[in-house]
Amino acid sequence: MRLNRLFAVVAPIVLLLPLAAHADWPKGEREKYMAQCTEAATPQIGAAAAKAHCACGADSIKSYPAADIQALMDNKASPELQQKALGQIAKCKANVPAKK
């Protein structure tokens, strides 16, 4: 009986551990990404749409390990990681209206 209670308390905590391991962007890197992204995207889709698209892209890869995000920002990521990240970011494109 005691074991069941212990399991009921411990199991949810154990299941949430992977979420804690992939918390967020390294300090200052999200702002750097947003600045670079919006600067590049604004001429094509406008400032408001660029900001929305870039924020969506930043949110879509924030669950990556900090080392992977840092490698992407430093242009040192493997081609596989680059393609994976670009695929995630490209999904945001469908949610952003075209420039008028």
Question: Distance (Å, rounded) from C-alpha 86 to C-alpha 40?
Answer: 15
Q: For residue range 2-20, list pLDDT tens digits in order.
A: 544 543 443 444 444 444 4
In a domain? residue 54 = yes
The reply to whether 63 falls in a domain is yes
d(CA 74, CA 86): 15
Number of domains in the chain: 1
- The answer to whether residue 9 sits within a structural domain is no
| Cα torsion angle, 87, 88, 91, 93, sign | negative
If you average pLDDT over every residue of the chain, what do you get?
78
pLDDT on residue 94: 57
**Nearest by Cα to 77 from 29, 39, 18, 31:** 29
| 30 has pLDDT over 80 | yes
Both tokens of residue 48? 């408001």
Host domain of residue 39: 25-100
Q: Is the pTM of this model over 0.85?
A: no
Specify the pLDDT at position 14.
42
